[in-house]
Amino acid sequence: MPNDYSSVPESALARLGHTLYKRALVRREDEAITDPRGQPIGWLLDTRTPMLDGEVFEEAGSVLADRLRSRSVSQVAGFGYGAFPVVCAVLGHGMPGDAFSGGFIRERRKPYGRRRLVEGPLDRTKPVALVDDILNSGRSAARAAALLRSDGFTVAGVLTLFNFTWSGGRTRLESEGLWVESLLELNLREGVRASGKSAGDTA
């Protein structure tokens, strides 16, 4: 069902989501890949592959910026390498008098220089949305939200490229009072395939 709050058609969101998915998917038949313990795995999503391609970067940034603008959010922050291209993609799509500001969240406060926990020109009087590539368990996003709050920021919600529906990340974050939105909902328990549902659909 179409969303009321975005000018981007659901068909365009689904197409972009599937483009990102297709470009990010790495299978073991094509490349040796492992989990954090070094054990072989069947597949993974490397979102930096599409997000560091100029054409996809531009389109994704435009769509994400539209979603954020519809929620009256003009500040974004990212935590970790997967989030950094997403933050930068959004920043390129501000409008005159309506620019986005971005920030990068450190794991811990830098012990020298400006000694910041959050780098960038974020304003503590305005809400911040976390942006990332993948929502899985939600632990990383919850940690990022906690770090932002500890530094005096108000966190409004979480916007990601993908949501792995089986891991409960959305429920975890919504229980903290955050809105959660993803371009594509993925259920990859049975084989490697996308569910075909976009951000406005009910999984």
pLDDT in tens, the chain (203 residues): 333 335 555 666 678 888 999 999 999 999 999 998 999 999 999 999 999 999 999 999 999 999 999 999 999 999 999 999 999 999 999 877 789 999 999 999 999 999 999 999 999 999 999 999 999 999 999 999 999 999 999 999 999 999 998 889 999 999 999 999 999 888 865 444 443 333 333 22
Domain boundaries, the chain: 10-198
Could you tell me if 43 and 186 are in contact, meaning their C-beta atoms sit under 8 angstroms apart?
Answer: no
Amino acid at 71: R
93 is written with which tokens?
Answer: 């799509």
Q: How many residues are given for the chain?
A: 203
How high is the pLDDT of residue 95?
Answer: 79
Contact 192, 27 (CB under 8 A): yes
C-alpha–C-alpha distance, residues 7 and 178, integer Å: 22
Say if residues 79 and 143 touch (Cβ distance below 8 Å).
Answer: yes
Helix 54-70 with 84-91: angle, nearest 10 deg: 70
Classify 79 in phi/psi space as left (phi over 0), alpha (psi -120 to 50) or beta: beta
Name the fold adopted by 10-198: Rossmann fold (3.40.50)
Look at the alpha carbons of 113, 116, 121, 124 in this order and tell me if their dihedral is positive or negative.
negative
Using DSSP, state whether 200 is helix, strand or coil: coil
Predicted pLDDT of residue 144: 98
Count CA atoms closer than 13 A to 55's CA, side-chain side: 4
- Quote the pLDDT of residue 192: 40
